Amino acid sequence: MDNEPGQKPRILIFDDCKATCALMKTELEKKGYTVRVAHTVEQATKSILNPTTRPEWVFLDVVMPRVSGEQFCRFIKGNGMFEGIKVVLCSAISQTDLEATATRCGADGFVHKESLLGREAVESLLKNSPQQGC
């Protein structure tokens, strides 16, 4: 799982929303990260089980079909084979619930989607729109 010196960590985005994944992937790749996307638990599991694609970071949605982000975080954190993988929960649930969920499942951090995606949308609009006066 080690990267070459100076190489940025590999990131897996596991979210059932394709738009969210696309926005996050674009922004992270601009910053030089290698990013993989998983929309299903099968895709995410396959990525972390394979030593050549195993990420150092997983950005994980909390509310998903079939398996919750909390359950998947527990799967990663409870398995010695995945030691060292950092998990960041990303969700639109309330900030208080998100923080409590991250604490409960042992996540390494959390980001509220509204702040993450809102900033990206505003930056994109500003960059791609003609300048207008106030």
Residue 122 CB contacts under 8 Å (≥ 6 apart), including other chains: none
pLDDT confidence bin for 5, thresholds 50/70/90: low
Cα maximum dimension of the chain: 56
Per residue in 45-56, pLDDT (tens digit) is 999 999 998 999
pLDDT confidence bin for 93, thresholds 50/70/90: confident
Looking at residue 113, what is its pLDDT?
Answer: 80
Given a contact cutoff of 8 angstroms between Cβ atoms, the answer to whether 60 and 69 are in contact is yes
Looking at residue 19, what is its pLDDT?
Answer: 86
The rounded distance, in Å, linking the Cα atoms of 36 and 127 is: 25
Considering the segment(s) 8-92 as one domain, its CATH architecture is 3-Layer(aba) Sandwich (3.40)
The rounded distance, in Å, linking the Cα atoms of 52 and 96 is: 36
pTM above 0.75, yes or no: yes
The percent of residues above 90 in pLDDT, for the chain, comes to 54
Question: In a 3-state reduction of DSSP, which class is residue 56?
Answer: coil
Handedness of CA 124, 130, 131, 132 (dihedral sign): negative
